[in-house]
């Protein structure tokens, strides 16, 4: 039995502006770095034996501090990236709705299948994240493996692994939140979704 900790990266300025980042490489801001310090301290006593990360800077900055407190080296993997948002990258939701109303509507109607112009469908992100997840399950003995990734990536992986409803699909995956999956052979169980105990108080 092992546990996979799916962790969203810390806050960026674009998160504050509600600007869609996608594959654009945006670093953590000061608040995000403070969140990550609290997260790393919270996880200090956990039995984490490996730290994987999206290869984007905001995820790697988050992963580095978790790895450091456990004496580990981050293992970057581009399959854990956020969705390639194509023409939507760098824009806010209101800007997207104004400039690309038809495309935005189609994306809402076909959550997994819609191909964003010059980008990718969520199903492609789901497939690459699931492949990376399966590789970790096969390779790492645990007992706990941390994966630092992105909110959208976490959502589509959960949709793949579990029978979850639309409310779960729309859940808020906050910066530095922890989603815990317990794996026993081929069986997976969702223990906790998007928890942020380290940010309380």
Best CA proximity match to 50, nearest among 41, 61, 31, 63: 63
What DSSP string describes 145-157?
EEEEE-HHHHHHH
Peptide bond into 159 cis (omega under 30): no
Neighbour tally for 133: CB within 10 Å: 24
> What is the C-alpha to C-alpha distance for residues 185 and 1, in angstroms, rounded to an integer?
7
Tokens matching residue 65: 């501090």
Alpha helices, DSSP H only, in the chain? Answer: 13-16, 30-42, 57-69, 93-99, 101-109, 122-139, 151-161, 166-169
| Residue of 30, 45, 68, 82 marked catalytic | 82
Active-site annotation holds for 82: yes
Q: Which listed residue (9, 70, 150, 198) is catalytic?
A: 9
Q: Identify whether 140 is a catalytic site residue.
A: no
Q: Enumerate the active-site residues.
A: 9, 82
């Amino acid at each position: 039995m092992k546990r996979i900790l799916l962790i969203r990266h810390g806050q960026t300025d674009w998160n504050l502006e509600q600007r869609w980042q996608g594959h654009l490489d945006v670093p953590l801001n000061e608040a995000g770095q403070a969140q990550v310090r609290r997260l790393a301290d919270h996880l200090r006593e956990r039995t984490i034996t490996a730290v994987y990360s999206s290869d984007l800077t905001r995820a790697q900055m988050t992963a580095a501090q978790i790895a450091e407190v456990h004496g580990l080296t981050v293992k970057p993997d581009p399959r854990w990236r956020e969705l390639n948002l194509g023409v939507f990258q760098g824009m806010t939701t209101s800007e997207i709705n104004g400039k690309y109303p038809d495309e935005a509507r189609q994306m809402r109607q076909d959550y997994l299948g819609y191909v964003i112009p010059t980008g990718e469908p969520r199903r492609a992100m789901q497939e690459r994240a699931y492949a990376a997840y399966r590789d970790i399950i096969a390779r790492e003995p645990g007992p706990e493996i941390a994966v630092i990734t992105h909110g959208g990536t976490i959502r589509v992986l959960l949709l793949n692994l579990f029978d979850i409803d639309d409310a779960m699909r729309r859940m808020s995956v906050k910066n530095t939140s922890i989603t815990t999956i317990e794996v026993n052979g081929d069986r997976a169980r969702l223990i906790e979704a998007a928890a942020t105990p380290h940010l309380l108080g």
